[in-house]
């Protein structure tokens, strides 16, 4: 889905469908809560700081990231769920 390019400091994440036990990580959520991790599909150009410079984004395409379940705006595409979320709202990335 290279159709959508996130803007500014946002990234596009493909949400992991059902609660995948990756190395045992469960982000404080039980089965019925929305999954809160997924793979980065696209990264914006970054926000512009007070001096007009682009600020870095610390994740790249392919990273698996974790986020609070209420962040971002969700997008459905061909049956899959995606999320447009600000990089600053991402909690952690899987090493």
State in angstroms the smallest separation of the CB of 34 from a second copy.
12
Contacts of 53 (CB under 8 A, 6+ apart): none
H-helix or E-strand spanning residue 76: strand 73-77
Site size for a second copy, by CB under 8 A? 45
Kindly state whether residue 62 participates in binding a second copy, applying the rule CB under 8 A. no
Question: Cα 35 to the chain's mean position, in Å?
Answer: 12
Among 18, 49, 60, 61, binds a second copy (CB under 8 A): 49
Q: What is the DSSP string of 39-57?
A: EEEEE----B-TTSPBPP-
Residues making contact with a second copy (CB under 8 A) = 2-8, 10, 12, 22-28, 45, 48-53, 55-56, 58-59, 65-66, 68, 73-78, 84, 87-88, 90-95
């Amino acid at each position: 889905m290279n159709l959508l390019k996130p803007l500014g400091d946002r990234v596009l994440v493909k949400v992991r469908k059902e609660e995948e036990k990756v190395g045992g990580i469960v982000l404080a959520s039980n089965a019925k809560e929305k999954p809160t991790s997924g793979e980065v599909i696209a990264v914006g150009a970054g926000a512009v700081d007070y001096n007009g410079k682009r600020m870095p984004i610390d994740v790249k395409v392919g990273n698996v990231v974790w986020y609070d379940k209420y962040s971002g705006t969700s997008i459905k595409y061909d049956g899959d769920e995606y999320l447009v979320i600000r990089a600053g709202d991402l909690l952690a990335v899987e090493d």
